[in-house]
Structure formats: structure tokens, C-alpha cells
Amino acid sequence: MAYFRRRIVFVAVALLFCLYHFHGISGGGGLLQTQTDPIAATQTIIKNRIDWNAVPQRYPVESMIPLPSGTPAKIPNIQYKFGKETKAGKRKRQERLEAIRESFLHSYRGYQKYAWLQDEVTPLSGEYKNGFGGWGATLIDTLDTLWIMGMKKEFAIAVAAVEKIDFTSSDSKVISVFETTIRYVGGLLGAYDLSRGKYPVLLKKAVELGDFLYAAFDTPNRMPITYWEWEKATSGEEQEAGTSVPVADLGSLSMEFTRLTQLTGDPKYFDAVQRIYDGLAEQQNDTRLPGMWPLMVNARKMDFTKDATFTFGAMSDSLYEYFPKQYLLVGGLSEQYRKMYEGTIKAAKKHIFFRPLNEENRDILVSGTMRDVATQSERLDPEGQHLTCFVGGMVGIGAKVFNRPEELDTARRLTDGCIWSYEAMPTGIGPEIFRAVPCLDPGDCTFSLDRYYHWIATDMHYREEDEDEDPPLTRAKAFVKEMGLFPGFTEIRERKYILRPEAIESVFIMYRITGDKTLQDKAWDMFQAVNRYTRTDVAHASIEDVTSTHPRKIDSMESFWTAETLKYYYLIFAEPDLVSLDDYVFNTEAHPFKRPS
């Protein structure tokens, strides 16, 4: 029988190898391309496989927290009831849909040709790089996009490749538990749910990876090690969570681990993440900004209160995003997630959201950052991050799910704030980080150049020191010209665009919630700009400067380009029942998980 099994492996790998080359996927340094003998490659995978369930835990859980059970609560519908479209409207929508699909195919073919089974393709040099465990991040992150775009043949080929990947170990010495969870576990589960369980290997691999990651929770207080030297767990070394950990790295594992428990019945995954939520919930009103959690927390001591920076931006973002989504995923059977969201949104509306001064006098909002909270230097930093553009969609979902209709306007204004950041740039693409002029009185936000220059003069601490120096306003005008700023912006701190999805994510969600077709037109303008400036001969590339009409390209295409950005662009022009928000809930990497019915 052993001989027979080896023969099956031999035939399967040989057929797969031929299939890859038949579809033009050879070359570029992928796993099968760099191995002269594909059978040897497969044997290596099998030989190095680790059974993580057999690795003893130093701090085993004595009593598991159970998954909420019962009949799902009655949750209000999220999606707008779309009517019948005109023939002309349908034709325009389908033309746009095909253009987006073509851009996706261009990027995916580049990955197939130059980086198959590697993490990322380099879109300028036509090579690859591995920064996310080396398990083929783009391949797995893109699985459900293939399914959504109707590429079932390519999907089947990709699933066959996934079956050969060993998720029990990695060539990387240190693993980001957060990135591995949202991209890989999320990607496998999203593809499994969308394909309605027709490919059991996807769940099998998600469990394999979930068991690997579960060992990162083997610490005295069961808080995970977010940047994990995984080999220590195999040798039984002592493990402790970090003392300075981005709060998103802790709080953004819940959906994926919860879905694993739902699909497998194994309570350990949900137990692992619910312990984090319980700790966060207990301290929600003890932080320097009650209702929210600071940017950095001490996971080792389970102290989530000390830091003084609060934001929906980098290193915090998806913690908050997951509150309403986790509520949806468990069918509304836990009020904890609602309460955490409601505490957050109350604090954010009072302290974080601000109305920016802008030339068109648009009534919009930007999500900023509170710094040095509860000190004499406490202040709102009126910065906008591309990462915070998800907030409009989050608030929109929260408004519908938790019956807070007055906040739909807040959600739309936040989304429009991100659209403004795109439309204000010469490329039509929003920057990574900018600063704007906050209207201290939201009811008094009429633009004038004098008002704009006065804020810059004050904000930049321009002072007239002697009679020979230029007055502050004169120097402020010179500063604007020198820095290449646009009316309303006081600084563009990071001018790059790295193919991020957050702006189109909120535009898509608000379209599905409101049915407002002007959002489709905004999305189309955004897509055309991004496609125009990022396309290369190989795929699509990040760009250095959105304020230049000839931006230099960067040799990088992260997997979220095909996993999230192009998926959201596609879905806003697809039929509204394709991945309906009333049937699925997206994780932070745009992987759709089936909601309880």
C-alpha cells in the first residue's frame, strides 16, 4: 500500500507539473520551477511536515470558552433593495466590469508566469519575493477573487497547487501571526465558503495552518506572540507575549479563528481569540480615551490602557473593523461585540472624526489621530491615512446592523472624505498619509485662502522674529508652494500609493447599502486613475508620489491588490446579489465568510 500511495503521489505531481506548463505558468522562480525534480519537492514537503497537535502545550487550556449557540438573532438587512436597471446602464456596468477583470487577469498572469507559489511577484523586474512565510501569499489571497470573477478553471488549478503546500513549517524564522491569519487562513476559508465546500482541501489546509498558529497562543496568559519564532514551540521553549504590541495584531484574529471553530466544531480556535476580546472588553473604559484602545498594548501583562495614542489607522484599524463583523459572524448571539462597537463609535465621533477645510466646501469627514491623550500636550492630529478609509464602510455596516440610522450620514461623509483625498491629487489617487486643516467648529467650514494660510502659519509655528523677516502668512504661502501642497492640505507626509483597498472598500460598501449610483461613477474614476499609473508589463506596481503626473513606480505588488482592491472594484459593478452583504461578511483582507442563516 505504501508503494501504491507513492505511485499516486508520483502521478498526481507529474500531471500537475504538466498542467502548470500547459497553461503557461512556467518560469519566474516559483517552487516547481526551481525544483528540477517535482517528485523530490513533494517528498521534501512530506518529510518536513509537523503534527502540531502532537506538540505538547506548556500552558494548556483547562476549560474552553464555548462558541455562542442558539438560533441566530434577527439582524436588519444591510443591502439596498436594487431595482431593475436599464439596458444602457447594464451595458455601461458590464463594460466597466470587464475592464476591471482584464486588469486582474494581467496581474494574475504576471504572478503565474514569474512568481508561481511564491508570496509576491515583483512587477518591474519580473521576479519574486517572499515576506509572508513563503507559502504563496498571492495565490491563496487571490483564490476567492478567481471564484468571484468566474474563473473556475484557474481556481481549480490554484486549489490543486494549494494542496501541495506544507503549512506546518516555514522557511521564515519569524512569522507574523496577524498577516498569516488574515491572508492565508482568511483566504482559504473565504474560498471554501464561496465554493460551498466543494473543495474540502481548502478547509483541511486552513485547519493545518490554524493548528500551526495555535501554538503561538501557548503563553502563560494565553495571549499570542504576534511576531512568532515558531521553531521555539517545537522544542518546548518558554514563550511569552510581547510587552509592546500593536493592538490590531491582537484584536484582528477573531473572525478567522471563529470561522474555524464553526466549520470544524473544535472549540480551541474560538477560545483562543475570545480570551483576547474578554480582556479588551474589561478594560475598554479604563484607557486614556474611554471607549477606544491605545495604539500599543502590553500583551504579556494584559494591560491595554497605558499608551496615549488613539487612531483607526495603522496598527489599530482592523481591531475596530471586526466588532460589527464578528457580531454578524456569530449571528448576533453575543452582545459583547455590539457594546464594544458602541463604546468605540461614541468616542470616535467626539474625538477622532473631523471636518476638513476644502476648496469645494464639501461636507466631509476624515478620521484623525489623538496624541498624548490625558497629558498637557493632548491634541487631535488632523491626519488622514489611506488605511483609515475603511472606517466609512465600518460605520455604515454598524449603522445598519445595530439600528443606528443617524450614523449612515457619518458613514457617507467619511467615505466622501476619502474620495476627496483621491480627487484632490493630480493622479486622481489618494496618498498614504496627509494632514489637513480641521474646522474646529464643523458648522463654520467655509474655505478661503486666507483661512488656509493662517492655519498653516499657526500650525507650522511661523513667527515674526524681527523686522527683516517675512511675515508669517508670506512664509506660509511660500511653504505651500515649496511643498507642492493643494488647498486644504497642510502636509502630504507619505505621497506613495501601494495599491491599497480601503478607499474603494468603503465606496463599495456604501453603494451596496444606499444604492447610490454616483458611487459607481466615483469608483470608476478611481479605478481608471489607479490602472493608468500602476500598470507595468508584468503586473501592477506601487507608485512613489501621487502628487506627480509622472510618478516613479516601485517594484512591489502586495497580495492585497488581487485579494482586496480589484475584488472591491469588481464587486461594485457586479450584480448586487454576488456576495451579498446579507449573506457574507468580509474579513479585513476581503475574504467572504458565510453568515449563519
pLDDT of residue 17: 36
Residue 569 φ/ψ, nearest 5 degrees? -60, -40
pLDDT for residue 229: 97
Q: Which band of pLDDT confidence, cut at 50, 70 and 90, is reported for residue 12?
A: very low
Using CA atoms of 417, 419, 425, 431 in order, give the dihedral in degrees to the nearest 10: 70
86 carries a ligand binding annotation: no
Cβ proximity of 423 and 533 under 8 Å: no
Instruction: For residue 561, give the DSSP letter.
Output: I
Residue 76 — very low, low, confident or very high, per pLDDT cuts 50/70/90? very high
pLDDT band at 459 (very low <50, low <70, confident <90, very high): confident
Which residues are marked as active site?
A: 179, 317, 432, 502
Spatial distance between the Cα atoms of 225 and 213, rounded to a whole number of angstroms: 10
The residues with which 383 forms a beta bridge, in sequence order, are 435
- Is the pLDDT at 576 greater than 50, yes or no? yes
Residue 588: the pLDDT is 98
| In the chain, % of residues over pLDDT 90 | 88
Question: What gap in Å lies between CA 240 and CA 217, rounded to an integer?
Answer: 9
Say what the pLDDT of residue 361 is: 97
Q: What is the pLDDT of residue 393?
A: 98
| Domain range list for the chain | 2-447+487-594
Sheet with 369-371: strands ordered across: 310-311, 369-371, 379-381
Please tell me the predicted confidence (pLDDT) of residue 471: 78
Instruction: Tell me the C-alpha distance between 163 and 153, whole Å.
Output: 16
Phi, psi of 427 (to 5 degrees): -80, -15
How far apart, in whole angstroms, are the C-alpha atoms of residue 421 and residue 504? 12
Does pLDDT of 127 surpass 90? yes
Q: Which residue has the cell 484574529?
A: 253
Mean pLDDT for 313-320 is 98
- CA–CA distance, 509 with 449 (Å, rounded to integer): 35
**In the chain, % of residues over pLDDT 70:** 90
Q: Residue 461: pLDDT band by 50, 70, 90 thresholds? A: low
Q: What letter represents residue 225's amino acid?
A: I
DSSP run (H or E) holding 270: helix 268-282
* Structure confidence at residue 341 as a pLDDT band (50, 70, 90): very high
Task: Give me the amino acid identity at 458.
Answer: T
CB 513 within 8 A of CB 80: yes
pLDDT of amino acid 83? 95
**Model pLDDT, residue 442:** 87
Top-tier CATH class for 2-447+487-594: mainly alpha
42, pLDDT greater than 80: no
Q: What's the pLDDT score for residue 467?
A: 47
Whether the CB-CB separation of 502 and 387 falls below 8 Å is answered with yes
- Whole-structure pTM over 0.85, yes or no? yes
Give per-residue burial for 414-428: e unless 16+ CB within 10 Å, then b.
bbbbbbbbbbbbebb
